[in-house]
Amino acid sequence: MTTSFAIPLFEGDLVRLTPVDYDKDPEVVAAWTHNAEFMRMYSLQPVRPLTAAQVKKQFEQIDKDMDEGKRLFHFAIRSKEDDRLIGVARIEWIEWSNGTAFLKIGLPDPADRRKGCGGDVLRLLLRFAFREVNLHHLEVVLPEYNVPALRFFEKHGFTIEVRRRQAVNRGGRRWDLIHMAILRPEWEARNERQK
């Protein structure tokens, strides 16, 4: 009898969730930080381009946070086809006693998104979060101008819970900041329906 343990946690149809690679990844991530269009969708921090050396330092901090803080899972997303680094996926700010956390996915290249890599990553992350980390509430925070991401998460079962008015100030105007979330029972019910 095959148990559900046999289902690979970190391997999807198109992508693999892996640790960061200190040798190969910094150059690629440094290039992402120069892509302001992506960074404004991915982060609320002011855009700031980094060198590969600075990215490497960030990797060290991430490893340290994962090991010592125990509230973070940080994955480098690689395409199975060519083992290329295509993005980043995080489960962060885990609150163990309540079973809550935040989720973050970044796929800078629109071509990878069109192929369906985003859906593949999200499936892996949700499965990991609800069936292995045993979370209950998974939240994602998005500025209202990131319409594709809002649609993406809605399509995958997330509900808008909070709209923090005018919390983002960018591109010459203020925008709302939207919190979306999915509960474990909601995710389980969707899985049942899809079977």
Partner 1 sequence: MKDKNELTADLLRGKLVRLCAMDSESISKFFVGWTHDSEYWRLMAATPPYPWSQEGVKKFIEKELQKDDPRNIFFVIRALEDDRVIGEIGFDGTSYSQGDTFVGIGIGERDYWGKGYGTDAMNIILRYVFTELNLQRVSLTVFEYNARAIRSYEKCGFRVEGRAREIIHREGRRWDIIFMGILQEEWQALNA
Partner 2 sequence: MRDKNEMATNLLCGKNVKLTAQDMDQAARHYFQWSQDPEYMRSVEGEPPVPLSLKATKEVNERDWPEDDPDNIMFLIRTLQEDQIIGFANLDYISWHHGDSYMGIGIGDKAYRGKGYGTEAMNLLLRYAFTELNLHRISLTVFEYNQRAIHMYQKCGFKIEGMNRDYHYRDGRRWNLVCMGILREEWLNLNEYITP
Helix (H/G/I), strand (E/B), else coil: 100? strand
Please report whether residue 139 would count as binding partner 1 according to CB under 8 A. yes
Determine the straight-line distance between the first and last CA of the chain, rounded to whole angstroms. 19
Q: What amino acid occupies position 12?
A: G
Among 21, 166, 188, 189, binds partner 1 (CB under 8 A): 166
Please report whether residue 164 would count as binding partner 1 according to CB under 8 A. yes
Query: CA-to-CA distance for 57 and 62, rounded, in angstroms?
Result: 9
Among 40, 56, 74, 78, binds partner 2 (CB under 8 A): 40
Closest approach, Cβ 80 to partner 1, in A, equals: 34
For 80, 112, 134, the CA distances from 126, given in Å and listed in that order, are 19, 20, 10
Task: Output the six-digit token pair for 86.
Answer: 């295509």
Residues 148-187 that bind partner 2 (CB under 8 A): 169-174
Query: CA-to-CA distance for 123 and 194, rounded, in angstroms?
Result: 13
**Residue 38 or 130 having the CB closest to partner 2:** 38
Please report whether residue 47 would count as binding partner 2 according to CB under 8 A. yes
- The percent of the chain in helix, strand and coil, each rounded to the nearest 5, is 40, 30, 30
Residue 33 touches which of partner 1, partner 2, none (CB < 5 to 8 A by kind)?
A: partner 2
Closest approach, Cβ 77 to partner 2, in A, equals: 21
Closest approach, Cβ 107 to partner 2, in A, equals: 15
Please report whether residue 33 would count as binding partner 2 according to CB under 8 A. yes
Cβ atoms of 91 and 73 within 8 Å: the answer is yes
Q: What is the DSSP letter of 133?
A: S
CA nearest to 166, candidates 156, 154, 158, 178 = 178
Q: Interface residues with partner 2 (CB under 8 A)?
A: 30, 33-37, 40-41, 46-51, 53-54, 145-147, 169-174
Applying CB under 8 A, the residues found at the interface with partner 1 are 44-46, 95, 97-100, 136-137, 139, 159-170, 174, 177, 179, 181, 183
